[in-house]
Amino acid sequence: VRRKDFLRDLWYLALPARAVKPGVTAARTVLGEPLLFGRRADGTPYCLQDHCPHRAMPLRYGRQEDDAIECCYHGWKFDVGTGRCLEIPALVPEDEVDVAKIKVPVYPCREVAGALWVFLPERRGRLPETLPPVPGEEATRGLEPRVCESQAFACHFDWAVIGLMDPAHAAYVHTSWWWNTGEHVLREKEKRYEPSPLGFRLARYALTKSARPYKLLGKNVSTEITFQLPGVRVEHIRGDRHAAVDLTAITPVSETETVVHHLIYWTVPGLGALKPLARRLARQFLDQDRQAVLKQQSGIAFDDSMMFVGDADQEARWYFALKQEYLASREQGRAFQNPVVERTLRWRS
């Protein structure tokens, strides 16, 4: 398995939409590439490479005026929608330079349910004819996140993905007085999984012993969890009256840093008072994962091999199989064939 490769021609959650206010830009590194996010005059988001082609000045230090960004160094201006150069102030009229031929790379950028997603193509300037849907778009359409938490994990993307999906660590890592007594009480679980686009799905099942918050969603509360490449997990909980969505999107910054975005949505009105609590729990939860991964790093530096044992490790096996098939199908110019087969997994957690 080529574990270290990053996958392209996919959407990545870059940052919460509220971090990009009108007239303000935000710089983020995604897959090792410096990117600048902002909004056009009409409010739609844009993303361009945060790098002036003249002398490598990050464009984040420039200023935006209407739909153009001006580099802080020599004032070159670029259109934020197309990346084309609009003006080079140092030129005299006699200079025969076609400034529009100079371009900063731009990337498709979409705002979906309070998050900005960027599409990173395999080859710059070559987009597929139709872009795939943004992960979780259907479940979160029209909703605003009530909780939106992002944390940087000091590890390679793969370790963050398998660390977050893994069911067996919860009883050991996610311990606290309100959640778990720390006595590692494990129960046997049995869940049916099936292939889904670019990933797998834990088929919808009824939450019988509903914990109290789920009752707010009404009766017959059920949940469905999907995972898809590159690293997006969407849990869709639904009752007869309301729904909640828990979205985790993992985005590589570099070989050694990964950002985990955790967004929670619910349709129950008037639960504003719950937000601080939900935020605190989400933060604590993510922090426990982050700490575990941090401790793991010296081990990985010594020897990064891993074992897959039992059904508890099946999701991790599938992740690497999906990734391998994604890379292979693209190299061979053929359609992706989902390596996941429907099956029931049994484990204790």
Residues that bind ligand FES (CB under 6 A): 52, 54-55, 57, 71, 73-74, 76
Structure-block tokens of residue 310:
């039992």
Q: Which is nearer to Fe ion, 20 or 316 (CB)?
A: 316
Which of Fe ion, ligand FES, none binds 289 (CB below 5-8 Å, type-dependent)?
Answer: Fe ion
Segment (H or E) for 252: strand 243-254
Pairing mode, if any, of strands 115-120 and 243-254?
unpaired
**Smallest distance, Fe ion to C-beta of residue 223, A:** 17
Which of Fe ion, ligand FES, none binds 55 (CB below 5-8 Å, type-dependent)?
Answer: ligand FES
Quick check: 104 and 52 in contact, CB under 8 A? yes
Rounded-to-integer distance, Cα 251 and Cα 246, Å: 16
Q: Which is nearer to Fe ion, 289 or 311 (CB)?
A: 289
Q: Which is nearer to ligand FES, 43 or 89 (CB)?
A: 89
The residue nearest Fe ion at its CB is: 289
Q: Which of 149, 289, 311, 313 binds Fe ion (CB under 5 A)?
A: 289
Rounded-to-integer distance, Cα 348 and Cα 317, Å: 17
Residue type, 115: A
Residue where the block lists tokens 């993992």:
250
Q: Which is nearer to ligand FES, 80 or 112 (CB)?
A: 80
3-state SS, one letter per residue, for 263-297: EEEECCCCCHHHHHHHHHHHHHHHHHHHHHHHHHH
Structure-block tokens of residue 170:
């919860």
**Smallest distance, Fe ion to C-beta of residue 233, A:** 11
Which of Fe ion, ligand FES, none binds 52 (CB below 5-8 Å, type-dependent)?
Answer: ligand FES
Scanning 51-59, 116-124, 288-296, 335-343 for contacts with Fe ion by CB under 5 A, the matching segment is 288-296
**Binding footprint of Fe ion on the chain (CB under 5 A):** 289
